Each structure stands twice: as C-alpha cells, then as structure tokens.
Amino acid sequence: MDGPGLFGNHGTLLGLGTDRHPDARTMSKLFPHRPNDSQRYAILGATAILPDRCIENAYVEWSEGFLTRIGPMPKRIPKSIESIEASGSYIAPGWIDIHVHGGAGADFMDGTLEAIQTACRSHLKHGTTTIFPTTTTGSHESILRMIQAVEAAKRSADASLPSIEGVHLYGPYFTPEKSGCHRKEACRAPVRSEFEEYFRAGSIAIATCAAELDGCANFYRYAKKQGCLVTCGHSNSSWNEMAAAHKCGMSHVDHFWCAMSSVASVRTRLGTPMQGSMLEFVLAHPTMSTEVIADGYHLAPELLEFAWQMKKSSMLCLVSDTSRALDMPPGKYAFGHPEENVWIESTGKVGLSPTGGLASSVVALDHCVRHMVKVTKIPLWEIVRMATLTPAERTGIAEDRGSLEAGKRADLLLLDKRLQVQKVFYTRTAQ
C-alpha cells in the first residue's frame, strides 16, 4: 500500500518538496528520515543487495531511520506498515565516497559553506549518502578555510545534505613529480605545526601523505593516533619506504595505478638494482587496501578486474574522485581553490589536464558501479560492497552503515533494473 506519507505525497518524511527547494525534480527522489518517526516502512519485492549475496523478492523494513528486518517476503504484512511495491528493482545501501573533490560547479576547496552544500547535494542525488570532502594541494590558508567550511556544513541541520563524516586531507603532502593535475608548486613535505592546525580546525577522517617525503613518519603516526584511515598517494615511493610507512600506520593507497610509483619510476629515482614500488607492496600485503576510479577512462576493464582478483572486495574501494565538473556541461573548470587553481578540461566524460593527461573524473559513484557491472564479471553484490561496506569498514563507520543489516541506518537506494538511482532514503543529523 502506498501511504500518503513517505511514499505518497512526501508528507511524512520527505521535507524536500517543490515548495522547499529550487531543484524540485531532483530533490523529489530524496527521502531524509525524520527523527523520532515511529512509523514502520517497508520496500516490497525488490532484489536486496547484501555484502555476500542478493535476495530476490525481498522485504526491507525500517523505523526511526534504522533497519529492522531484511529477508524474504513474509506471507503477511501488517496494514500499519507504510510500504511500496518495488518488483523489478534493486535495493542497496547508500554509496560511501571517500575520495571526492566537488560537483555541480563547486569544488570543496572553494572553502565556503555554499560550495560544500552544492557539491554534497550533487552527490546525494546520485546515491552517495555518506561523503568525505577531499582537499587538493593549496595554500595553508585555503586548506584551513575548506576544513572550517566542511565543519560548518556538518553542524548544519540542512536535510538536503548527505552525512559528512569528515575531511579527506588529500593535498598538500604529495611529491611534485607525481602531482598529477594538482598544482606542483603547492606540493610540500608535512610540517607538524601545519598539519596539527589542520586537525584542530575540524574532523579529519582520512589523511594522505607521500611515503618518501621528509616528516612523513610523524604525519602518519599523528594521523593514526587521531583515528584516521592513513593513506599514501601521489607518491614515487619504493617498497622499503612503503614498508616504513606501513609500520607507522599507513594502510591504504589512493587511486591505484594513478599518480603512483612503478618499478620503472623508482629505478629512475633511485637507480639499480631495481626495487619494488607502491604497486607491488599493495598487492603483496593483505593489510593494505586501495581504491579504483571506475569511470571508464582511468582504468581498462582488465585492470579493474585484476585489482579485484588481487585485493578482493573487502580491501578494494570504488571512489569517484570527481571534480566540480560533475553534472556540468563540457568545458574548462578550475580544479581546487579559485585563486590557486589548475584549469582542467571536462569532455563531459572525463577530466583532462592542460598537458592532456587525466585530471579527475566527472562522474559520481553510481556511474562507477554501473560501469563495473558492465565491463567486468565481478558479482553485483561484490561491486556494491566496494562502494558501501568496504569504505565504511576502512574508515571505521561500518557499525551503523554500509550494508543492509538490522540495526544499521536505513541509508537505502532504490535502483531500477539498469541500476539507475530512483529513490534515496537517508539519515541526516547535524554533528
């Protein structure tokens, strides 16, 4: 039965109707859970995507924003439950993006509350219910502004935002030779007085530093002590440097195969005998996780499938790594803070740097999931895990989200048979 509330005219939970938001067509598919709503809700007949299997003709029930029952369709459903028939659809946990720079014309490094809100909303409509706004290289002041703006967005009671679980401090601690589309001039080694100020300014949940930089060990130890997922990215580090970093708490590598060392690049830097690189270290160590950009342009299908074969879905995340060009027409866009930017070119399908190299993606996680399904033989539930439970586990938030399990938040996506997002149910609480 379609009740007049959540699944009817948006009366019970939606709160994002045509009179409350300018983008009514987009926002009408967003259903934020309202605190203390004791009504029981259910989705009937969809295929539920669990971490280890799919359940056809499933029953998914929740109340007060938390899942209460997931399983086969029961013989009887109480009339008091407000429900929606969804046969032929899929139901999945909300996406969790741990590496994302912006969207809808806004970059998180713009450093304003409006920019944070604009970019976060653009990802929510694609099904990302938990997001980690990500820095680029930039001045000390611009990074501080970004962190402070994210904190303001976290404290906001704006129901049109996904959960913002903290900042991914991604730049500026890169090696210049692996800067990619980030400003090479802004790359620098970590200095304790600087990065401690970043951590004092706001909630940093993920912290990246190249493993060959002076001061990286202090950074890794400090970030690990703060409870961060500690990562290495934009680095030309050797096996031995990775091993030293791993001992200091580093356990993840950003966008595998992109802006990272290889045996050949390490040889150019350190000479012979040839040494192992980031790639070999990640593949050799079960305690190392990594991520891939599955936009169809960064990595070929065989690399996507190879990464999964080597790391499995439990240690491989899908990330969008998207820029402000998400949902925008082709053209030139600033990557990073407007006054400290590198201009990139969006083709409408991928971002390109001024030299013609790849420069971030222009798609969200929903596209990445569909692309993985299209070009690999990986089971659907494992692909979805890489965009949900695995990033939740790696960032320490899996206790209350990332999978369809009783007791977890009802961050849910109703997907059509082509895996296009139709409805987004999510929890939004000010922090």
Q: What is the pLDDT of residues 280-329, one digit of tens each?
A: 999 999 999 999 999 999 999 999 999 999 999 999 999 999 999 999 99
Q: In the structure, what pLDDT confidence band is assigned to residue 273 with cuts at 50, 70 and 90? A: very high
Q: What average pLDDT does the segment 171-189 reach?
A: 91
Residue 329 token pair: 């027409």
What DSSP element (H or E) covers 231?
strand 229-232
Instruction: Return d(Cα 49, Cα 323) in angstroms, integer.
Output: 28
* Pairing verdict, β 351-352 and 342-346: antiparallel
Instruction: Return d(Cα 419, Cα 13) in angstroms, integer.
Output: 24
Residue 24: is its pLDDT beyond 80?
no
* Pairing verdict, β 331-335 and 342-346: antiparallel
Amino acid 122 reads S
> pTM of this prediction?
0.94
Give the three-class secondary structure for 102.
strand
Task: Give the C-alpha distances (Å, rounded to integers) separating 133 from 115, 186, 411, 417.
Answer: 11, 19, 19, 30
Cα–chain-centroid distance for residue 221? 24
DSSP 315: G
Question: Tens digits of per-residue pLDDT, 185-240?
Answer: 999 999 999 999 999 998 999 999 999 999 999 999 999 999 999 999 999 999 99
Closest Cα partner for 252 from 261, 242, 244, 267?
Answer: 242
The answer to whether 289 and 394 have CB atoms below 8 angstroms apart is yes
Question: Tens digits of per-residue pLDDT, 337-359?
Answer: 888 878 999 999 999 998 889 99
Domains for the chain: give ranges and CATH numbers: 5-93+404-426 (2.30.40.10), 95-394 (3.20.20.140)
For 244-292, the DSSP string reads: HHHHTT--EESSTTSSB--HHHHHHHH-SSP--BHHHHHHH-TT-EEEE
Q: Is 64 left (phi over 0), alpha (psi -120 to 50) or beta?
A: left
Question: Tens digits of per-residue pLDDT, 120-157?
Answer: 999 999 999 999 999 999 999 999 999 999 999 999 88
Instruction: Return d(Cα 105, Cα 356) in angstroms, integer.
Output: 21
Instruction: Return d(Cα 291, Cα 269) in angstroms, integer.
Output: 25
Closest Cα partner for 334 from 309, 353, 357?
Answer: 353
pLDDT of residue 365: 98
The answer to whether 93 and 383 have CB atoms below 8 angstroms apart is no
The answer to whether 285 and 312 have CB atoms below 8 angstroms apart is no
Crossing angle (nearest 10°) for helices 301-311 and 365-375: 90
Residue 248 token pair: 């200091």
